[in-house]
Copies of this chain bind each other. A is one copy, B any other.
Amino acid sequence: MPELPTPDSAGCCGPLDARAADRDTATALARTFKALADPARVQLLSIVAAQDGAEACVCDLTEPLGLAQPTVSHHLKILVDAGLLAREQRGRWAYFSLVPGALSSLAAGLAEQVPTHQG
Protein backbone atom coordinates (compact mmCIF):
# COMPACT_ATOMS: atom_id res chain seq x y z
CA MET A 1 0.00 0.00 0.00
CA PRO A 2 1.53 3.31 -1.00
CA GLU A 3 1.47 6.25 1.38
CA LEU A 4 -0.25 9.38 0.22
CA PRO A 5 0.95 10.93 -3.02
CA THR A 6 2.81 14.22 -2.89
CA PRO A 7 0.46 16.90 -1.50
CA ASP A 8 0.86 19.18 -4.49
CA SER A 9 -0.15 16.52 -7.01
CA ALA A 10 -3.55 18.14 -7.39
CA GLY A 11 -5.73 16.16 -9.74
CA CYS A 12 -4.55 15.72 -13.28
CA CYS A 13 -0.83 16.03 -13.40
CA GLY A 14 0.62 13.78 -10.75
CA PRO A 15 4.12 13.81 -9.34
CA LEU A 16 6.01 14.71 -12.47
CA ASP A 17 9.26 15.02 -10.55
CA ALA A 18 9.09 11.37 -9.56
CA ARG A 19 9.36 10.48 -13.20
CA ALA A 20 12.76 12.02 -13.69
CA ALA A 21 14.11 9.27 -11.46
CA ASP A 22 12.68 6.74 -13.90
CA ARG A 23 14.82 7.95 -16.75
CA ASP A 24 17.68 5.61 -15.91
CA THR A 25 15.31 2.69 -15.63
CA ALA A 26 13.73 3.61 -18.95
CA THR A 27 17.15 3.76 -20.56
CA ALA A 28 18.05 0.33 -19.20
CA LEU A 29 14.74 -1.15 -20.38
CA ALA A 30 15.10 0.44 -23.81
CA ARG A 31 18.55 -1.10 -24.13
CA THR A 32 17.11 -4.55 -23.42
CA PHE A 33 14.30 -4.01 -25.91
CA LYS A 34 16.87 -2.96 -28.47
CA ALA A 35 18.54 -6.33 -28.00
CA LEU A 36 15.24 -7.89 -29.02
CA ALA A 37 14.58 -5.51 -31.92
CA ASP A 38 15.98 -7.93 -34.48
CA PRO A 39 14.20 -10.98 -35.94
CA ALA A 40 17.33 -13.15 -35.77
CA ARG A 41 17.76 -12.43 -32.07
CA VAL A 42 14.10 -13.10 -31.34
CA GLN A 43 14.48 -16.43 -33.15
CA LEU A 44 17.67 -17.28 -31.28
CA LEU A 45 16.03 -16.57 -27.95
CA SER A 46 13.00 -18.64 -28.91
CA ILE A 47 15.04 -21.58 -30.12
CA VAL A 48 17.15 -21.60 -26.96
CA ALA A 49 13.98 -21.32 -24.84
CA ALA A 50 12.45 -24.31 -26.61
CA GLN A 51 15.37 -26.66 -25.95
CA ASP A 52 15.57 -29.16 -23.11
CA GLY A 53 16.78 -27.20 -20.11
CA ALA A 54 16.39 -23.97 -22.12
CA GLU A 55 19.98 -24.41 -23.31
CA ALA A 56 21.56 -24.79 -26.75
CA CYS A 57 25.01 -25.19 -28.25
CA VAL A 58 26.04 -22.44 -30.65
CA CYS A 59 26.74 -25.25 -33.11
CA ASP A 60 23.00 -26.00 -33.24
CA LEU A 61 21.94 -22.39 -33.76
CA THR A 62 23.51 -21.49 -37.08
CA GLU A 63 21.51 -23.84 -39.29
CA PRO A 64 17.95 -22.88 -38.27
CA LEU A 65 18.71 -19.21 -38.86
CA GLY A 66 20.57 -19.71 -42.11
CA LEU A 67 23.26 -17.32 -40.93
CA ALA A 68 27.04 -17.73 -40.68
CA GLN A 69 28.39 -18.63 -37.28
CA PRO A 70 30.19 -15.31 -36.72
CA THR A 71 26.88 -13.53 -37.34
CA VAL A 72 25.04 -15.84 -34.97
CA SER A 73 27.77 -15.34 -32.35
CA HIS A 74 27.43 -11.58 -32.76
CA HIS A 75 23.68 -11.77 -32.14
CA LEU A 76 24.18 -14.12 -29.18
CA LYS A 77 26.67 -11.72 -27.62
CA ILE A 78 24.10 -8.91 -27.78
CA LEU A 79 21.55 -11.16 -26.02
CA VAL A 80 24.12 -12.09 -23.36
CA ASP A 81 25.11 -8.44 -22.83
CA ALA A 82 21.42 -7.62 -22.39
CA GLY A 83 21.10 -10.22 -19.63
CA LEU A 84 18.68 -12.38 -21.59
CA LEU A 85 21.01 -15.32 -22.25
CA ALA A 86 23.86 -16.79 -20.23
CA ARG A 87 26.95 -18.18 -21.95
CA GLU A 88 29.02 -21.13 -20.81
CA GLN A 89 32.09 -22.43 -22.60
CA ARG A 90 32.44 -26.23 -22.63
CA GLY A 91 35.50 -27.39 -24.48
CA ARG A 92 35.21 -26.35 -28.10
CA TRP A 93 31.66 -25.02 -28.00
CA ALA A 94 29.81 -22.29 -26.20
CA TYR A 95 26.40 -23.12 -24.73
CA PHE A 96 23.69 -20.54 -24.28
CA SER A 97 20.85 -20.74 -21.80
CA LEU A 98 17.83 -18.58 -21.09
CA VAL A 99 18.25 -16.44 -17.99
CA PRO A 100 15.23 -17.48 -15.89
CA GLY A 101 12.66 -14.75 -15.45
CA ALA A 102 14.49 -12.31 -17.72
CA LEU A 103 11.59 -11.94 -20.13
CA SER A 104 8.86 -11.71 -17.54
CA SER A 105 10.82 -9.20 -15.48
CA LEU A 106 11.26 -7.21 -18.66
CA ALA A 107 7.49 -6.91 -19.06
CA ALA A 108 7.07 -6.27 -15.34
CA GLY A 109 9.77 -3.59 -15.44
CA LEU A 110 7.60 -1.40 -17.61
CA ALA A 111 4.68 -1.57 -15.24
CA GLU A 112 6.83 -1.15 -12.16
CA GLN A 113 8.97 1.77 -13.15
CA VAL A 114 6.29 4.34 -12.52
CA PRO A 115 4.85 4.26 -9.00
CA THR A 116 1.06 4.15 -8.94
CA HIS A 117 -0.28 7.50 -7.84
CA GLN A 118 -3.94 7.22 -8.69
CA GLY A 119 -6.25 8.68 -6.05
- Chain A contact residues, CB within 8 Å of chain B: 12-14, 16, 19-20, 22-23, 26-27, 29-31, 33-34, 36-43, 45-47, 49-52, 57, 60, 63-64, 103-104, 106-107, 110-111, 113-119
Contacts and interface: CB of A to CB of B under 8 A. Distances in A.
B23 A43 contact: yes
A108 to B, nearest CB: 9
A116 B52 CA distance: 9
| Interface residues of chain A: helix, strand, loop or mixed (majority) | helix
Given A60-B12, A64-B19, A26 B50 contact: no
A26 B40 CA distance: 7
A111 B54 CA distance: 11
